[in-house]
A and B are shown apart, each in its own frame.
Chain A
Amino acid sequence: MSTLASVSGSRVVRRSPRAALWRRLRRNTLSLVALGVLLLLTAMAVLAPTLTPYDPDAPDAEHALQSPSLRHWLGTDIYGRDQLTRIVHASRIDLLVALGATAMALSTGVVLGAVAGYRGGWTDQLVMRAIDAVMAFPSFILAMGITAALGNNTLNVIAAIAITHVPIYARLIRGEMLRVREMEYAEAARTVGNRPRRIVFRHLLPNCVPPVIVQATLAMGFAVLTVAALSFIGLGIRPPMSEWGAMTAEGAGYIVSGEWWLFLFPGVAIMVTVLSFNLVGDTLRDLLDPRMRGL
Chain B
Amino acid sequence: MTPLLDLRDVTVHFDTDEGTVQAVDGASLLVGAGEIVGLVGESGSGKSVTALAILRLIRPPGRIVAGAIEFDGRDLLQASEDEMRRIRGSQISMVFQSPRTSLNPVIPVGRQIERLLRVHAGLDGGGARRRALAMLAEAGIAEPERRAAQYPHQLSGGMCQRVMIAMALAASPRLLIADEPTTGLDVSIAAQILDLLRDLGRRTGAAILLITHDLGVVAGICDRVAVMHAGQIVESAGVHRLFKQPAHPYTRGLLRSVPRLDRDFTMEPIAGAVPSLLDPPPGCRFAPRCALAMDACTACRPPIVAVAPGHSVACLAVEGARR
Task: Please list the residues of chain A having a beta carbon within 8 angstroms of any beta carbon in chain B.
Answer: 14, 183-185, 187-195, 202-203, 206-207, 209, 294
- Residue on B with the closest CB to A207? B106
Are B85 and A195 neighbours in the complex by a CB distance under 8 Å? Answer: yes
Whether the pair A193, B88 counts as a contact (CB closer than 8 A) is yes
Q: How many Å lie between the Cα of A189 and that of B90 in the bound state? A: 13
For B164, what are the chain A residues with a Cβ–Cβ distance below 8 Å? 188
Residue of B nearest to A14 (CB): B154
Check: B298 CB closer than 8 A to any chain A CB: no
- In the complex where A190-B88, A206-B107 touch, is A294 in contact with B153 (Cβ < 8 A)? yes
Q: Is the beta-carbon distance between A192 and B105 smaller than 8 angstroms?
A: no
Residues of chain B within 8 A of A206, CB atoms compared: 104, 106-107
**Closest B residue by C-beta to A203:** B104
A191 to B59, CA, bound (A): 12
Contact of B194 with A by CB under 8 A: no
**With an 8 A cutoff between CB atoms, is B116 at the interface?**
yes
- A127 smallest CB distance to B (angstroms): 19
Q: Once the chains bind, are A187 and B102 in contact (CB under 8 Å)? A: yes
For residue A12, give the distance in angstroms from its CB to the closest CB of chain B.
Answer: 10
* CB-defined contacts of A194 to chain B, threshold 8 Å: 85, 89, 119
Q: A294–B151 Cα gap in the complex (Å)?
A: 12
- By a CB distance below 8 angstroms, the chain A residues around B89 are 191-194
**Assembled-state Cα–Cα distance A192/B89 (Å):** 4
CB within 8 Å of A: which B73-127 residues: 84-90, 93-94, 96, 98, 101-107, 115-116, 119-120
B55 proximal to A (CB < 8 A): yes
Q: Can you list 26 pairs linking A and B with CB atoms under 8 Å apart?
A: A14-B154, A183-B101, A184-B96, A184-B98, A184-B101, A184-B102, A185-B102, A185-B103, A188-B96, A188-B104, A191-B89, A191-B93, A192-B93, A192-B94, A192-B119, A193-B84, A193-B87, A194-B89, A194-B119, A202-B115, A203-B104, A203-B107, A206-B106, A206-B107, A207-B105, A209-B106
**A190-B88, A191-B94, A193-B90 in contact; A185/B105 too (CB < 8 A)?**
yes
- For the complex, what is the distance from the CA of A191 to the CA of B105, rounded to whole Å? 17
Q: Tell me the bound Cα distance from A203 to B116 in angstroms.
A: 12
Question: Are the CB atoms of A207 and B57 closer together than 8 Å?
Answer: no
Say whether B57 contacts A191, CB under 8 Å. yes
Residues of B within 8 A of A294 (CB): 153
Q: Are A185 and B88 in contact (CB under 8 A)?
A: no
With known contacts A14-B154, A207-B106, A190–B57 Cβ distance under 8 A: yes
Question: Contacts A184-B98, A187-B102, A202-B115 hold; do A193 and B107 have CB atoms under 8 A apart?
Answer: no
A191 in contact with B55 (CB, 8 Å): yes
Cα A185 to Cα B98 with chains together (Å): 10
Bound CA–CA A184/B94 (angstroms): 12
> Across the two chains, which residue of chain A brings its CB closest to B152?
A185
Establish whether residues B98 and A191, one from each chain, have CB atoms under 8 Å apart when the complex forms: no
**Neighbouring B residues of A183 by C-beta, 8 Å:** 101
Q: Is the CB of A193 within 8 A of B86?
A: yes
Contact A193 B85 (CB under 8 A): yes
Tell me which residues across on chain B come within 8 A of A185, comparing CB atoms.
101-105
**Inter-chain contact A192/B88, CB cutoff 8 Å:** yes
Complex Cα–Cα for A184 and B96 (A): 8
- Top 7 closest pairs, chain A to chain B, by CB: A192-B89, A193-B88, A193-B89, A193-B85, A191-B94, A184-B102, A185-B104
Least CB distance from B96 to A in Å reads: 6
Tell whether, in the assembled complex, residue A193 and residue B120 are in contact, meaning their CB atoms are under 8 Å apart.
yes
Nearest Cβ in chain B — how far from A205, in angstroms? 10
B74 CB to nearest chain A CB (Å): 16
Give A294 to B100 CA distance when docked, in angstroms: 15
Nearest-CB residue, chain B, relative to A209: B106
Q: Give the residues from 39 to 97 in chain B that come closer than 8 angstroms, CB to CB, to chain A.
A: 55, 57, 84-90, 93-94, 96
Chain A residues contacting B106 (CB-CB under 8 Å) are: 206-207, 209
For the complex formed, measure the closest distance between the CB of A6 and the CB atoms of chain B, giving whole angstroms.
17
- Smallest Cβ-Cβ distance to A185: which chain B residue: B104
Chain B residue nearest to A206 (CB atoms) is: B106
